[in-house]
Chain A
Amino acid sequence: MLNALWLIPAAPFAGFVVNGLFGKRAGKSFVSAVAILGSLLAAIFGTVAVFQYHALYPHGERYVDLVYNWFSSGNVGADVAFQLDPLSVVMLLVVTWVGFLIHVYSVGYMHDDTGYFRYFAYLNLFLSEMLILVLGSSYLVMFVGWEGVGLCSYLLIGFYYKTDYAPAAGTKAFVLNRIGDFGFLIAMFLMFAYFGSVDFARVSQLAAGGGVEPWLLTAICLLLFLGATGKSAQIPLYVWLPDAMAGPTPVSALIHAATMVTAGVYMVARSNVLYRLAPDAMMVVAVIGGATALFAATIALRQWDIKKVLAYSTISQLGFMFIGVGVGAFSAGVFHLVTHAFFKACLFLGSGSVIHAMSGEQDMRSMGGLKTKIPHTYRTFAIATYAIAGLPLASGFFSKDEILASAWATPYFPTVGKIVWALGTIAAFCTAFYMYRLLYLTFDGKFRGTHEQEHHLHESPSSMVVPLWILAILAIFGGLLGLPEIFHAPNFIGSWLAGAVPEIPGAHHLIEIPAGSEWTVMIVSTLIALAGWWVARSMYKDKQLDTDRAIEQRVPGLARAVENKWYVDEFYGATVVGPLKQLSIFFWRIVDGIIDGIAAMLGYIVAGIGDLLRFFQTGNVRNYALMLFAGVVVFIWIFT
């Protein structure tokens, strides 16, 4: 398997080709069989490759499988090559297995959809591109996958293309991602210009070798991070992710929660050598991450759409991951990425199951009291909520705690680290609060929907419930992968990822968290999470919507501002989109008018000359022959 790593992305790609070409005529069972086989094969190939890799390279060295030389010109070049190292191993396992579970879930969820084959073809294509992204051995190959997942995201957000909001949401996602991609591209050009290579190891080696000007590293890191803010929905480019909920719910789970949006975190962790040599850039990453974590969490406090709450929650959790990689705790960031993939996929799939039961209703004001109606969904949802809220001993507790403790103890920028820690801790409170608000409003109290919806309530089929349970179990026990040092237990993920964070001269290595501050931070976060849960419980468990109404009466301005997402979309509309539109209209009406005028004038000149010359076109063969001979005579006369 190791010498054919390309087979891993190729398997779902084959599924995409088969379903894309023949899926329309084939039956639904054929389509789902092909799609699931594609994702399962990728998962099996990936797992086999991981075991072989671990047997051969137990210390986490880098293994590269060269497919072919893409181009090489002078001392600039790039290969098409895939690699395995501890970081890509973690991503590979998460992407393939969570992807597989969501494929299975989709069979039940999309059962009545007319675009069945299209959906699964896109989903397989997405998986393939995502695997190229995580397995690529250079920024360029990564960028191929990066753009590929962006395309699939666009296609799947706009999946319900007959509505008017879904295609617009897809376009929004695509355009904002393009802004980020611009940064990624410029960063790659800088690498080509100054290092002559975009291979991960080569770039790291040259950067760590010394003699590189600091501004160059800072510029590369900031530009890469601009790409990450687009793909991973951070301030200022996060606004596309809430709109992306227009796509089918399993897509939100797979692409917009578990895998694609974490690509930015993966990329920063992958570039950890560059970032550690440019602490200023790291500080930007950490501060943006902390600000996003808090900002998105406040918006989630007062949303009614069940998927919108989860979308803002995803943005907020991605902010936590960026705090992790920004303060230098790369393994903590990736650990949170993994646990988040588990519990957020579970939450999204659970919300999909709720929406399925509610016959398409997404507004929590019409829900309530679903606890007894859909018990499996309720239990898994409650487990995942427990995990994301950071309540003790579940997966989110350990990963979030490690991030916050690292922010507290970061050696790169101690003062700013404390501020980031404070931002993260407040965001953690909000997280516990809005997640339990969601849980209580949806599952407790009385049913508030129509009579028809109530009649139709039903638990989802087992193809949806089984993935939910698997993910819920992972959400609970996923934390065991990375127990903190003070528990005197092995931290699997930390020691595993240590191989991906090499020691370099002139930069800090792993963050040493003193046991005292670890305990303090852990107790503070536990109390904070419990407080969030307790406040939400006292406000929403029994009173349900009355609380929200009371808040609206007491502070109407604030309530409306939060409900309208702090008017960020309106702000962007007024400052960026509106002027751009005006500029476009200017170009269209005025500049295009001038250019078109010139072009049209040339056309009129040609037409005028043609009007004169057409009198030679008599249509009489003998006239033409005469002209021909006359021409020959003239030529001969000239040449002799």
Chain B
Amino acid sequence: MIPTTWFLILGAILFSIGVCGVLTRRNGITIFMSIELMVNAVNLTFLAYARQFNQLHGLIFVFFIMAIAAAEAAVGLAIFISLFHHRETIDVDEANLMHW
């Protein structure tokens, strides 16, 4: 059996890639994909532990996270569509109305 540590390392790598994506990318959709990456990295960690301890809690958490990620994607995409309507772009640096 694959040791749990490997899953955790993979999760950490995926999470770090996601963080870097969120911080460096300017395209809204790409940022979104990076966030999904982070979320799934966390899911992977949950599943790894669920498998190790043979318990259901982790699985249930993952279901919830997936549902929330789906809802978040729906809302986020709607925001970007609306942003595109107004600005003809989804570059997040352009959306800086909150600027002082």
A residues in contact (CB < 8 Å) with B: 614-615, 617-622, 625-626, 629
Q: A615-B100, A617-B98, A617-B100 are in contact. Are A622 and B19 (CB under 8 A)?
A: no
> Which of B26, B97, B100 contacts A622 (CB under 8 A)?
B26
State whether A620 touches B93 (Cβ < 8 A). Answer: yes
Assembled-state Cα–Cα distance A618/B26 (Å): 15
State whether A621 touches B93 (Cβ < 8 A). Answer: yes
State whether A621 touches B99 (Cβ < 8 A). Answer: no
> Which of B19, B93, B95, B100 contacts A629 (CB under 8 A)?
B19
| Residue picked from A619, A620, A621, most chain B C-beta under 10 Å | A621
Say what secondary structure dominates the interface of chain A: helix
B residues in contact (CB < 8 Å) with A: 19, 22-24, 26, 31, 92-93, 95-100
Assembled-state Cα–Cα distance A629/B34 (Å): 14
B94 → chain A closest CB, angstroms: 10
State whether B99 touches A622 (Cβ < 8 A). Answer: no
Assembled-state Cα–Cα distance A113/B61 (Å): 73
A141 → chain B closest CB, angstroms: 57
A212 → chain B closest CB, angstroms: 70
State whether A619 touches B100 (Cβ < 8 A). Answer: yes
State whether B96 touches A619 (Cβ < 8 A). Answer: yes
State whether A621 touches B92 (Cβ < 8 A). Answer: yes
Assembled-state Cα–Cα distance A619/B98 (Å): 5
Q: A629-B19, A629-B23 are in contact. Are A622 and B98 (CB under 8 A)?
A: no
A sample of 12 more A-B contacts (CB under 8 A), given A622-B23, A625-B23, is A617-B98, A617-B99, A619-B98, A620-B93, A621-B95, A622-B22, A622-B26, A622-B92, A622-B93, A626-B23, A629-B22, A629-B23
12 contacts between A and B (CB under 8 A): A615-B100, A617-B100, A618-B96, A619-B96, A619-B99, A620-B92, A620-B93, A621-B31, A621-B92, A622-B26, A625-B22, A626-B23
Find the A residue at minimum CB distance from B34: A625
Assembled-state Cα–Cα distance A638/B24 (Å): 26
Q: Which residues of A contact B99 (CB under 8 A)?
A: 617-620
Assembled-state Cα–Cα distance A111/B27 (Å): 75
Q: Which residues of A contact B92 (CB under 8 A)?
A: 620-622
B86 → chain A closest CB, angstroms: 15
3 closest A-B pairs (Cβ-Cβ)?
A619-B99, A619-B96, A621-B92
Q: Which residues of B contact A615 (CB under 8 A)?
A: 100
B39 → chain A closest CB, angstroms: 15
Q: Which residues of B contact A625 (CB under 8 A)?
A: 22-23
Find the B residue at minimum CB distance from A626: B23
Assembled-state Cα–Cα distance A287/B41 (Å): 93
A625 → chain B closest CB, angstroms: 5
Assembled-state Cα–Cα distance A622/B98 (Å): 13
A13 → chain B closest CB, angstroms: 52
Q: Which residues of A contact B100 (CB under 8 A)?
A: 614-615, 617-619
Assembled-state Cα–Cα distance A622/B100 (Å): 16
Q: Which residues of A contact B26 (CB under 8 A)?
A: 622
Find the B residue at minimum CB distance from A614: B100
Find the B residue at minimum CB distance from A615: B100
Find the B residue at minimum CB distance from A613: B100
Find the B residue at minimum CB distance from A628: B22
